[in-house]
């Protein structure tokens, strides 16, 4: 058995990793219908004025404001209605002094008019209009370009497209945008014992778990997972599969479960690239490694499902989001009291899975091989490397998975 | 102009709505690769024991524990290696007293063995094995069914499938699951003035915004949006489109922008179903209505983009998530100081959009028609109906959109 070369603290491992992320630099074009959550690749400026014409801001009558001066509840001004413009239609009408045009909210203001009198401040009788309230020039008109001027930059490179920002793109008539391409992540489960769910379980085999947990997490965090054929416990196969996987943006090995298999993997990786770290002061996850091979970030995660998933949350997710130009994952943390005493190993920061019931956190961890730790846990608590005991009833912070 | 029948408080409107949600009851089957974020329609029990056989928990040698009793650093016990079992393979080996079988982590424990001696506690020489440490029966063996017993319920109806729960499904070999079907939402933009982004802008027309904001929000919150052809400002067309939309699980009208159009819409809805509320004491969003037509929840949202989007966050999102059996949207709220004085209308709860710069919140709101309020805002503050003034520098809570 070989010692880990450098068992380094968790925060240091994360920092080294974050300093070595090859960010996605190229774009793809997506329609705005499918752009929510994507990251803008370039500034977007408006090809039009918004509003594109002088618009009525209320239902009422387009008038010359000065015709309404002096109007009052008992001394209405009388105007002549010379037409009507509905929202969405265009009519070439020009009004003169003493005239009014009926308009709906959003309708084009006719030439010559400089204000809108609201319908509730008027009385209509045939083509005669009584105006009971004076308006000043510009009243209830949204002038062309008031909101956005043609050429204005309305969204910037790197902005994440929320529903409201997608609305802004629609408003300026932009049907598609350039966004950063999503990182494609090769997922490489290792182990001769693995079979796919749905296949018949032969003696000695177990179902592959890590491809499914890792792929789900990649999808949730802005990446595209691609599960490659299972890697055999054989250096030649490892090398072949690693080479094939380098066309992806990131590579994640999970397993092998034995020390011998892990050694094979890291030997191949060392030969082909630069190992950034190998061995981290965490539990679970001690044998985790991270390397750069051919400019691509390559991870080695433990084979045990709970260890692998925790590793994915701690390393893969922040790396992937940084690569994809996304903000760090928004973690929900809740306070709870621990249901029983937990012991921890000094010198290793422990991620301990718990199940929440109201404000009580029950340990969900059985062994690192246990699947029930996955099914039953709502999240984890962090026990620092300097703490060896969490007393029953102590307040803890639970980091929720979901 | 007609008065709103009952202008009701925001919380009351929300409560009435939430009491009238027709929840999705039918399922669809999805593969576990595509199940993240979905909601289980039924309990899932395990078709197998996990582990499915007695497994080695470490690399080492499967032995009879009693053969190691009395072993020590200077008084090793000597055993004979009679074979090797790799992870993933099955060999019919039975060991007798004095024998050992080399095993990798995860390998099948051969018949007759009841413990594993770790490789670091042994020394191998040809087929001779020196054991330097005694082990008790069961040591470093994960017995069949230890984690999950065949028939155990491992996940319950209504649970949301996080990556870890998908891992649990994989572990028991379940390739697909029944989940609640996603609600399909008909989105019906109303207005003769609307054209789609990408189309040429004729005089009098504007680009449709609300379909895009609403659809994006529906996608983000577990629904499937379907934008139907634009509804004309005509009662016959409204009735026709409403009827067609009732094959969806939920219906959302947005617009029309004028009072006349809004009246047409609510008249048709009243004729065909039951209006739950019409008019809410909020700003923006006063003309919002909600109805049940033919068992389906139908919303009427204002036409102005910022008003419509705010309405969608306040009403559509909670309704949709409840319908889909999802938890309420996890909102991120941050504290900030407001950059300038804001006045508000007494009697209406205001949702006021702001842009964040560090710990300062700048008003992003211009007018309810303004698109820049969408593009530039990071979220909103809530000004209660009883408050008419927020002073410059006052601390506010910003509800983030993203």
Q: For residues A13, A16, A19 and A24, what is the CA-based torsion angle, rounded to 10 degrees?
A: -60
B150 to chain A nearest CA, in Å? 13
A55-142 shares the fold of A10-24+182-323: no
Interchain contact, A233 vs B87, CB within 8 Å: yes
Interchain contact, B258 vs A104, CB within 8 Å: yes
Question: What is the H or E stretch that residue A85 is in?
Answer: strand A77-85
pLDDT at B1: 45
Tell me if B155 sits within 8 A of B167, measured CB to CB: no
Looking up tokens 């058995």 gives: A1
CA distance A22 to A4: 26
Q: Which of A247-261 are b and which e, b meaning 16 or more Cβ less than 10 Å from the residue's Cβ?
A: ebbbbbbbbbbbbbb
CATH of domain B10-24+182-323: 3.40.980.10
Chain B residues in contact with A93 by the CB 8 A cut-off are none
User: What's the topology of domain A55-142?
Assistant: Molybdopterin biosynthesis moeA protein; domain 3 (2.170.190)
Q: Domain B27-50+146-180 sits in which CATH superfamily?
A: Molybdopterin biosynthesis moea protein, domain 2 (3.90.105.10)
pLDDT at B6: 67
Instruction: Assess whether pLDDT exceeds 90 at residue B142.
Output: yes
Instruction: Assess whether pLDDT exceeds 80 at residue B194.
Output: yes
Domain boundaries along the sequence of chain A: 10-24+182-323, 27-50+158-180, 55-142, 333-400
The beta-carbon neighbor of A165 closest among B53, B170, B374 is B374
CA atoms in the 13 A half-sphere facing the CB of B269: 26
pLDDT at B368: 61
Model pLDDT for residues B357-373, shown as the tens digit of each residue: 999 999 987 766 677 77
- B111 phi and psi, to 5 degrees? -60, 140
Instruction: Assess whether pLDDT exceeds 60 at residue B3.
Output: no
Q: Which of B228-261 are b and which e, b meaning 16 or more Cβ less than 10 Å from the residue's Cβ?
A: eebbbbeeebbbebbeebbebbbbbbbbbbbbbb
B225 to chain A nearest CA, in Å? 10
Q: What is the mean pLDDT of residues B296-301?
A: 96
Interchain contact, A203 vs B90, CB within 8 Å: yes
pLDDT at B161: 96
A208 to chain B nearest CA, in Å? 7
Alpha-carbon torsion (B165, B171, B172, B177), positive or negative = positive
Q: What chain B residue is nearest to A165 in terms of C-alpha separation?
A: B375
CATH assignment of A333-400, given 2.60.120.650, 2.60.40.10, 3.40.220.10, 2.40.340.10? 2.40.340.10
The beta-carbon neighbor of B305 closest among A171, A196, A202 is A171
Q: ipTM, 2 decimals?
A: 0.92
Tell me if B397 sits within 8 A of B383, measured CB to CB: no
A37: left (phi over 0), alpha (psi -120 to 50) or beta: left
Q: What chain A residue is nearest to B45 in terms of C-alpha separation?
A: A375
Q: What is the mean pLDDT of residues B377-383?
A: 92
A148 to chain B nearest CA, in Å? 7
pLDDT at B365: 74
Model pLDDT for residues A24-83, shown as the tens digit of each residue: 999 999 999 999 999 999 999 999 999 999 999 999 999 999 999 999 999 999 999 999
Share of chain A above pLDDT 90, in %: 86
Please state the length of chain B: 402
**DSSP strands (E only) in B86-189:** 99-103, 115-118, 122-125, 128-131, 141-142, 153-155, 176-180, 184-189
Q: Which of A237, A227, A239 is nearest to A189 (CA)?
A: A227
Mean pLDDT across chain B, nearest whole number? Answer: 93
Model pLDDT for residues A198-251, shown as the tens digit of each residue: 999 999 999 999 999 999 999 999 999 999 999 988 889 999 999 999 999 999
Q: What chain A residue is nearest to B146 in terms of C-alpha separation?
A: A370
Instruction: Assess whether pLDDT exceeds 80 at residue A373.
Output: no
Q: What is the mean pLDDT of residues B256-264?
A: 71
Second-level CATH architecture of A27-50+158-180: Alpha-Beta Complex (3.90)
Chain B residues in contact with A120 by the CB 8 A cut-off are 1
CA distance A346 to B136: 26
Model pLDDT for residues B85-141, shown as the tens digit of each residue: 999 999 999 999 999 999 998 999 999 999 999 999 999 999 999 999 999 999 999
Interchain contact, A372 vs B147, CB within 8 Å: yes
A331 to chain B nearest CA, in Å? 10
Which residues have C-beta within 8 Å of that of residue B85, sequence separation ≥ 6?
A204, B62, B91, B93, B101, B102, B103, B104, B107, B108, B110
The beta-carbon neighbor of A106 closest among B147, B170, B193 is B193
């Amino acid at each position: 058995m070989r010692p880990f070369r450098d068992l380094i603290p968790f925060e240091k491992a994360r920092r080294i990793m974050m300093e070595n992320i090859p960010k996605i630099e190229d774009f793809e074009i997506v329609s705005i219908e499918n752009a929510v959550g994507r990251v803008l690749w370039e500034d977007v400026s408006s090809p039009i004025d918004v509003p594109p014409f002088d618009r009525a801001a209320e239902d009422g009558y387009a008038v010359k404001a000065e015709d309404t001066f002096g109007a009052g509840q008992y001394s209405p001004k009388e105007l002549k209605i010379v037409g009507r413009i509905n929202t969405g239609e265009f009519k070439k009408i020009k009004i003169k002094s003493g005239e009014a045009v009926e308009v709906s909210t959003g309708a084009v203001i006719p030439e010559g008019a400089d204000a809108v009198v609201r319908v509730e401040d008027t009385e209509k009788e045939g083509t005669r209009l009584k105006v009971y309230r004076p308006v000043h020039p510009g009243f209830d008109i949204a002038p062309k370009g008031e909101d956005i001027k043609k050429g204005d930059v309305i969204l910037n490179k790197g902005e994440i497209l929320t529903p409201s920002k997608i609305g802004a793109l629609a408003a300026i008539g932009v049907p598609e945008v350039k966004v950063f391409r999503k990182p494609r992540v090769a997922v490489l489960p290792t182990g001769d014992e693995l079979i796919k769910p749905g296949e018949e379980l032969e003696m000695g085999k177990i179902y592959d778990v890590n491809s499914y947990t890792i792929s789900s997490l990649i999808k949730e965090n802005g990446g595209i997972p691609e599960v490659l054929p299972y890697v055999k416990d054989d250096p030649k196969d490892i090398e072949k599969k690693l080479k094939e996987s380098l066309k992806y943006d990131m590579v994640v090995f999970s397993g092998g479960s034995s020390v011998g298999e892990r050694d094979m993997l890291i030997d191949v990786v060392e030969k082909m690239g630069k190992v950034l770290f190998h061995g981290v002061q965490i539990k679970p996850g001690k044998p985790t490694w991270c390397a750069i091979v051919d400019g691509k970030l390559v991870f080695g995660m433990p084979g045990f499902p709970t260890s692998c998933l925790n590793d994915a949350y701690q390393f893969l997710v922040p790396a992937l989001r940084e690569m994809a130009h996304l903000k760090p994952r928004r973690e929900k943390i809740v306070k709870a009291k621990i249901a029983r005493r937990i012991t921890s190993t000094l010198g290793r920061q422990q991620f301990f899975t718990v199940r929440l019931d109201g404000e009580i956190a029950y340990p969900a961890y059985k062994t690192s091989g246990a699947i029930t730790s996955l099914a039953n846990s709502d999240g984890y608590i962090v026990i620092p490397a300097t703490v060896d005991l969490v007393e029953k009833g102590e307040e803890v912070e639970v980091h929720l998975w979901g």
